[in-house]
Amino acid sequence: MKRKLLFVLTICLISLAACTKNEVLDTTKPVIFLTGGTTHMLVGDMFVEPSVKVTDNVDTDITYTKSGDTVDPSKAGTYTIYYDATDKAGNKADQKSFTVHVYAFSDNMNIVNGGFETGDLTGWTIEEINGSSDAFNDAFVIDTNNRKEGTYFFDGSKTDDNKVGALRSSNFILGGSGWINFRLGGGNDIQTLYLAVYRANDDTMVAKFANRNPQKYGGNEFLVGYKFNLLTIDGVNLGDEFYIKIIDEKLENWAIIKIDDVKTFNLTEPSGTTYELTINQK
Ligand SMILES: [Ca+2]
Ligand SMILES: [Ca+2]
Ligand SMILES: [Ca+2]
């Protein structure tokens, strides 16, 4: 009986020693959590820092330190802040970083009347192809609903398939995230019916997009939203000057184009539910 008691006592002591030892030897590092915060903003907007939480297996009152950049909301640039924390046993948390992009914006980063909301072709220039520009006319800017954005869009089906022509936008300076978006309806033919992006200084085409998914909403009459990041093209940089051109050289079989919602400035990638990612078919 005495022996058994001694045995139990010994086990208890060992357990206690093990427990105490564990407390002293904390080898688990704390973890830093960042939530929210402004990741993309325009110069002059308010910057909100992410909220920071540090958890640990032992310590409940760990403070964190910050290093890296100090965000200056009045100056365009990319700023990165680093967060560190150490528990009382000296274990360092994995460093977390937070990056904010501050973009300068000027009106010339968007083309004029890219959504046709003036109800006509203000801001756009009609150009000829093979001596004709009949595919484009102020009268074809209408307000019926073919999955347009806003009130008006350009509807090439207001004239005949065999009409041709081109429509050139105002120039724009590439800014923000580099993402552009647009909505296209009508036929799918990259050779003769497309939206293109040209360099303003030498008129070279850098990108070309067709209405690749005209049946998305059940028919060519419905506008489909597309998005593309121009910065993925070799040699294209923020600050470069471009313009958009809409071409209709197609003569039959859904040989018209519908356009709306041409935006050349986006702070962030446009939403995936409205705009599907398209490819450069140049
Ligand atoms: Ca710890
Ligand atoms: Ca519109
Ligand atoms: Ca045509």
pLDDT tens-digit series, residues 23-57: 569 999 999 999 999 999 999 999 999 999 999 99
28-103 belongs to CATH 2.60.40.10: yes
DSSP-derived 3-state class of residue 51: strand
Ligand with minimal distance to 247 CA: 3
Q: Residue 191 pLDDT more than 70?
A: yes
Distance 242 CA to ligand 3 centre (A): 25
Question: Is residue 265 a contact partner of residue 175, using CB atoms and an 8 Å limit?
Answer: yes
Q: Residue 98 pLDDT more than 70?
A: yes
Give me the pLDDT at residue 12, please. Answer: 45
Q: Residue 4 pLDDT more than 70?
A: no
Ligand with minimal distance to 156 CA: 3
**pLDDT tens per residue across span 229-275:** 999 999 999 999 999 999 999 999 999 999 999 999 999 999 999 99
Q: Which of 249, 264, 228, 265 is nearest to 104 (CA)?
A: 265
Cα 170 from Cα 165, distance rounded (Å): 17
Give me the pLDDT at residue 2, please. Answer: 54
Distance 20 CA to ligand 1 centre (A): 15
Name the DSSP class of 62.
-
Distance 125 CA to ligand 3 centre (A): 17
Give me the pLDDT at residue 41, please. Answer: 93
Range 137-141 average pLDDT: 98
Cα 197 from Cα 192, distance rounded (Å): 15
Cα 76 from Cα 109, distance rounded (Å): 15
Give me the pLDDT at residue 3, please. Answer: 58
Domain with CATH 2.60.40.10 in the chain: 28-103
At which residue do the structure tokens 């197609």 appear? 250
Please state which of the four CATH numbers 2.102.10.10, 2.60.120.260, 3.90.550.10, 3.90.1300.10 is assigned to the domain occupying 107-277: 2.60.120.260
Domain with CATH 2.60.120.260 in the chain: 107-277
